[in-house]
Structures are given as structure tokens and as C-alpha cells.
Structure 1
């Protein structure tokens, strides 16, 4: 679920790090903001894979009468 958020944060961070967009605000450093977003994106992707790995997502349930 958080993989999509991680990808968005990663892309936004790389946009700022690679100077595709420059923000001219005195209190925001584009490069630092970009690296923070990259790290947050990687962390979101890694945590989403650790918490719910794909091989544990599918569970089979039997919803029939008790034996």
C-alpha cells in the first residue's frame, strides 16, 4: 500500500536533487529537501516490503461447515 507513496516521494526527491525544479525560497534548500524526500521514499518502500511481504499476503481460508 505504501509502495506507491514511496515511489512518489522518491520521484519528487530526485526532481529536486537533480535540479529539474528550483524553488527560490530563502528558507528551503532544494538539495536538502530532495535528499530528505528520497530517503523518505526509500524508507516507505522498504518498510512496506518488510511489513507485508508478497509471499505472505495470500492466505487461503476455508469458509465451509465445521468438520
Structure 2
């Protein structure tokens, strides 16, 4: 379950707890809403701690040093006069 699912659980629990006045026999909707809120909060904290551990720190890029070859221009170092 991702962060979006946790937020949906919290929202659904809050709606059941605070915004409804339905009565169901054998089911306490206020308690179901509170349970959904708690599960959503636990999921959010778990998701954030796992996401924090998976964060990868990329080291700064290293500078590439090109080895420059110094060529003599005497006519023989380029292979044509050898």
C-alpha cells in the first residue's frame, strides 16, 4: 500500500467517524472509522520510514582528466617517416 492508499484510509475513516450518522445493527461505524484512521496513520509512518531508507545519495560527479598526448611535429613521430 502506498502513500495514496494510506491517505484514502485516513479520509474514509474520518468520513465514517465525523460525517455520517448512519446506524447499522451490529456495526459501530464510529469505531470502524477510528480503526481506519489508525491503520492509515500506521501505514503513512511505515511508508515514510521505508522511503527514507531507500533514498540514494548520489556522490558528486568526479572530474574527468584527459591525458593529453604531446606530439612532435618532426615528420617521423606520426608514423609516416619511420
Report how many aligned residue pairs link the two structures.
59
| Greater relative CO, 1 or 2 (CA 8 Å, sep 6+) | 1
Which consecutive residues of structure 1, in runs of 5 or more, have no partner in the other structure? 61-67
- Determine which structure has more spread, i.e. the larger CA radius of gyration: 2
1:53 deviates by: 1.6
Relative to the length of structure 2, the TM-score reads 0.60
Relative to the length of structure 1, the TM-score reads 0.71
Q: Which is richer in helix?
A: 1
Runs of 4+ in 1 over 6 A off after TM superposition: none
Q: Could you say what the CA RMSD is over the residues aligned between the two structures, in angstroms? A: 2.4
Which consecutive residues of structure 2, in runs of 5 or more, have no partner in the other structure? 60-82
CA distance in 1, matches of 2:23, 2:56: 45
